[in-house]
Amino acid sequence: MYNERLQNVSVLGAAGKMGSGILLLTAVEMADLQLKPENKNKSFCLNAIDVSPQALTGLYGYLKSQLKKIAEKKLIQLREVYKENRELIENSEIIDQYVDDVLKLVLFSTKVESTYESSIIFEAIVENSDIKVATFKQILANSKKDPWFLTNTSSVPIGELDEKAEMKGKILGFHFYNPPAVQKLVELITTKNTNPELIEFSKIYAKNLRKVLVPSNDFAGFIGNGHFMRDMLFGIKQATQLSKEMSLPEAIYAVNRVSQDFLIRPMGIFQLMDYVGVDVCQKILIVMSSRLNKSELHSDLIDKLISLDIKGGQNSDGSQKPGILKYEKGKPVAIYSIDKKEYVPIESFQKNVDAKLGQLPASHKPWKDIVGNKQKESLLVGYFKELKSMSTIGASLAKEYHLSSKNIGLELVSDKISDNADNVNTVMLTGFFHAYGPINSYLD
């Protein structure tokens, strides 16, 4: 079943941030199947479909360079795979051949009609329920196969898509994290209706891709964005309150620093918003607040930023575009001022604000020294104990933030979005690279 299904696959939105990664991983998985001796005479086809022809051209370059890196990494296995081909002798020849063999599977197309022969369809087009539904309907009405759909939606409930497009359980949420080729986490969202064979397929696929699969229940935002969005709103609230004592850019700087340095996270909350895209955050909030009927899932600040065209997101080379923060070589250097409609250099107020926040606990180590550390647990216990005993503004903000993050986690469990605390923690550890899960007892 698995092999057959994978003989003809389509990725919709293949040139996008998520689609390109999904395409790459799927291409490699399909090529590895094809290169098995028993599959020599079977044909495999992967349709890379995107409405934007320019973007597809860029996709070719991305695939080629990434495939080369992948081949270099697994060369020892590849020499084994190509053992019988006596003409391929040097590593470089084997690498080139592999890149070629994978690329040969990929057909680039701008037409949704290309999906009609596919048994598996990954969907990673814009986060818009109506467009997704319309696309699914069109495919189901015309497909020559009985396709299964794996959607990458960040927020739209799967049940809603299933019902509106009349998919009879042939869809599930297979929610990769950005960038899919790197991030280990995939959230798996199924409903009562989901076809068990499709679930089985997804599990094998995830395993072959060496992903960590975490089940989430079918509530808008799921676990990952469920936590992130609420965490973000808390950060915005904290900054807004703080802006009574300082300018808003200063307050944003302060909270960004608290959520990164004081909480030992890979990046501050405002930088994370830029990384994901302020516009994407807005879209996710809209879907979540309407589906969950929670009007508090909304931010005036985000709406304001979007109206001023402050969006963040990444350039095609993976570098960060300016958003709430402006970056040089990946490091924040300025913060956007809504009043002045320009970026204010961090330098101009950094000393003052840092002095107000106060020192980091003496036992502080940056995230990168903690995350892979063998003594991580004891280091964190010691660190938070020290933080707890401090009463500087920075420490107080950090403690509030930390507790809010924990409560958000607990709520995801009590609201039955996550089956248990472990799943919440795994999502934040693997999908957001946190050094520790939000549901912890460090500050108890």
Partner 1 sequence: MRRKVYMTAGYNTISLGSGRKEFNPKKPRPGIEHYIKEAGQATLKMVGGAKNVDESVIGNFMSSRFVKQAHLGAFAPMIDEGLKHKPSLSVEGACASGGLALTSGIRSVLAETADVVLAIGVEVQNTVKAIYGADILAGAGWFADRKDGHAYFFPGQFSNRAGAYFEKYGREKTRQAFAVWFKNAIENARLCPTAQEYENKVEDLIGLALTEPNPKGFTDHLNVFDCSKVSDGASSIAILSEEGLAKAGIPKSEAVEIVGWALVTDDITKQPEDPTVLSTVGQAAKKALANAKITVNDLATIEMHDCFSVAGLLTVEALGLAKPGEGADYIINGNTARNGKLPFNTTGGLIGWGHPTGGTGVHQAVTIWEQLTGKAGAAQITIPQNRSYGMTLNMGGDDKTVVAIVYKRAE
Ligand X SMILES: NC(=O)c1ccc[n+]([C@@H]2O[C@H](COP(=O)([O-])OP(=O)(O)OC[C@H]3O[C@@H](n4cnc5c(N)ncnc54)[C@H](O)[C@@H]3O)[C@@H](O)[C@H]2O)c1
Site string for ligand X, 190-229 (x = CB under 6 A): ----------------------------------------
Minimum distance of partner 1 from residue 83's CB (angstroms): 8
Site string for partner 1, 54-83 (x = CB under 8 A): ------------------x--xxx-x---x
From 40, 41, 90, 391, residue interacting with partner 1 (rule: CB under 8 A): 90
The position carrying tokens 């979005």 is 417
The position carrying tokens 């109206």 is 307
Q: Does 51 bind ligand X (CB under 6 A)?
A: yes
Q: Could you tell which of ligand X, partner 1, none binds residue 148, using a CB distance below 5 to 8 A set by kind?
A: none
| Contact call for residues 219 and 415 (beta carbons, < 8 A) | yes
Query: Assign residue 121 a region: left if phi > 0, alpha if psi is -120 to 50, beta otherwise?
Result: beta
| Contact call for residues 287 and 220 (beta carbons, < 8 A) | yes
Compute the distance between CA of residue 129 and CA of residue 279 in angstroms, rounded to an integer. Answer: 16
From 52, 114, 138, 337, residue interacting with ligand X (rule: CB under 6 A): 52
Which region, judged by CB under 8 A, interacts with partner 1, from 84-92, 182-190, 197-205, 310-318? 84-92
Q: Could you tell which of ligand X, partner 1, none binds residue 1, using a CB distance below 5 to 8 A set by kind?
A: none
How many CB atoms sit inside 10 A of residue 112's CB? Answer: 19
89-93: long-range pairs with CB below 8 Å, 24+:
none
Q: How far, in Å, are 13, 45, 134, 144, 359 from residue 141 at the CA level?
A: 20, 21, 11, 9, 62
Which tokens is 225 given?
């964005």
Quick one: DSSP state of residue 242? H
Q: Does 140 bind ligand X (CB under 6 A)?
A: no
Residue with smaller CB distance to ligand X, 12 or 78: 12
Site string for ligand X, 92-121 (x = CB under 6 A): --------------------x---------
Compute the distance between CA of residue 353 and CA of residue 340 in angstroms, rounded to an integer. Answer: 19
Which region, judged by CB under 6 A, interacts with ligand X, from 47-55, 213-221, 251-259, 304-312? 47-55
All residues at 6 or more sequence positions from 204 whose CB lies less than 8 Å from its CB, including other chains: 2
Q: Does 17 bind ligand X (CB under 6 A)?
A: yes
Interface positions with ligand X (CB under 6 A): 12-13, 15-19, 49-52, 55, 112, 124-127, 131, 135, 152-154, 175-178, 276, 280
Binding site for partner 1 (CB under 8 A): 72, 75-77, 79, 83, 86, 88-92, 95
